[in-house]
Amino acid sequence: MVITQYQVFLLKEISISIFIFLITQFILGSLLKNNHKKLPPGPKGYPVVGALPLMGTMPHVTLFKMAQKYGPIVYLKMGSHNMVVASNPSSAKAFLKTLDLNFSNRPSNAGATNLAYDSQDMVFADYGSRWKLLRKLSNLHMLGGKALEDWSKIRADEMGHMIRAMYDFSKKDEPVVVSEMLTYSMANMIGQVILSRRVFENKGYESNEFKDMVVELMTTAGYFNIGDFIPILARLDLQGIERGMKTLHYKFDALLTRMIDEHVASSLKRNRDKPDFLDTLIAQSTQNSDGERLTLTNIKALLLNLFTAGTDTSSSIIEWALAEMLKNSKIMKRAHEEMDQVIGKQRRLEESDIQNLPYLQAICKETFRKHPSTPLNLPRVSLEPCQVNGYYIPKGTRLSVNIWAIGRDPNVWENPLEFNPNRFLSGKNAKIDPRGNDFELIPFGAGRRICAGTRMGIVLVQYILGTLVHSFDWKLPNDVVDLNMDESFGLALQKKVPLAALVSPRLSPSAYIS
């Protein structure tokens, strides 16, 4: 075997990097021992890489098992970085509420650099004036309560498109691939608010390619990338993650650039008295607001946040809910009975009906609990050293809250592996709300870095899931004996095998054409 000059160079580089790292670790370890400060318990890990090899392909499950062994706050040495994981409501509250400001920033990572325009977006930006401006504009014009009310008709119109498409599938006796249908519909809802137009006129190759891009982004952004934890190895990209991210970024950037260019070109044709969200963002790029001005990169990065997180997280929750209901026909039957009593069968469900559908709301909460769209919250990092539950947390420690583990904590939930909406209909659980104040159920996170789309996510899940359940009877294709409920880990928790189901209309025919 012939060893090339490049391979020799590469081996030298790796050897030198590892030697420097080991010396650094030895010195830091000695300092830590002399410090006598009590870190949270956790696995010992390996030299150089620490606990990285322990994560496996399902880190949220691995970390849940560690919490069962070591306790609700687990400390891990991940390469050259410290990391703590909170896995029960009280520890999550300590970090995300009591110490919220100290953990208000995100650590730098390959996803933020290569996908999110080097943290120029709302998700990864440091807590500061630009982040506040992006958040303010998003809440005021798209994600806040008043803004959501203003675009309720868009949601209703787009649901009409989806229901009619599914009605056509039922006449052909063809299965509906739920994730494809949901991504198509939600992208069009969001597109109409941002761009004043549907992004995809017809469901097909283009919309499916977009769905695949979104899933790839949410998957790769959730990977434990070696370069994020051992910076001296980052440029080697040993897992090939960064190369994939850069390729995906070029695809999204081309799509977003085309959207913005077409939007600017069509400005004279649109109603200038009623600006859409992109009009507002473009206007903000030409004027200062509290000393902050948006750049074109900021605008692209924010649109990337809204189109990806806005479609993928909500669609995964709805898909999981339908899968659980297909596995338990009694839940589907009870939901139908409640809807028929409140709405009847002469019209479609409307958003105003949801407040009168407590069982539907309970189904949504139970899905948020058992199948949170984000199993591990986006990481945060400590600005200063602090104390939590008697443990010392060093400055620069990465924090991850295992939302998936909280939902399956047997000390919090009775029979946590059972999908049982009844748990939210009475007793103390009936008052639990998923908006970030009840730490038993925080599918969107909590604190000042809670998901900006929390309100929108809850509205979309309740309205779309309710409409799909009320409008159709659902059953599995004849060749599916046992529904696969395996998970696929990423920033968002996908079904490993996408749900495909047969639907049949259960309302008056006029409800599908109105």
Q: How far apart are CA 189 and CA 198, in angstroms?
A: 7
Q: Which residues contact 105 (CB under 8 A, 6 or more apart)?
A: 126, 127, 380, 381, 383
For residue 386, say whether it is annotated as part of any ligand binding site.
no
pLDDT in the model for residue 270: 73
Q: How far apart are CA 91 and CA 388, in angstroms?
A: 8
pLDDT in the model for residue 201: 79
In contact, 438 and 381? CB cutoff 8 Å:
no
pLDDT in the model for residue 241: 92
Residue 178 has which token pair?
């739920």
Q: How far apart are CA 503 and CA 472, in angstroms?
A: 6
CA distances from 194 to 81, 135, 249, 302, 411 (A): 39, 15, 20, 11, 43
Widest pairwise Cα distance in the chain: 77
Q: How far apart are CA 471 and CA 456, in angstroms?
A: 22
Q: Which residues contact 406 (CB under 8 A, 6 or more apart)?
A: 87, 88, 89, 92, 412, 439, 440, 441, 442
Helix (H, G, I), strand (E, B), or coil: what is residue 91? helix
All domains of the chain in start order, with CATH:
37-512 (1.10.630.10)
pLDDT in the model for residue 359: 98
**Nearest-CA neighbor of 71 among 95, 54, 87, 55?**
87
Q: Given CA atoms 46, 52, 55, 57 in this order, what sign does their dihedral have?
A: negative
With a cut of 50, list the residues of the chain below it in pLDDT: 1-2, 6-8, 26-27, 30-34
Query: DSSP letters of 164-219?
Result: HHHHHHHHHT--EEHHHHHHHHHHHHHHHHHHSS-S-SSSSHHHHHHHHHHHHHHH
Annotate 386-418 with three-state secondary structure. EEECCEEECCCCEEEEEHHHHHCCCCCCCCCCC
pLDDT in the model for residue 207: 79
| Residue position matching structure tokens 């306790």 | 71
Q: Which residues contact 27 (CB under 8 A, 6 or more apart)?
A: none
Q: How far apart are CA 481 and CA 76, in angstroms?
A: 42
Q: Is 175 left (phi over 0), alpha (psi -120 to 50) or beta?
A: beta
Residue 254 has which token pair?
């081309």
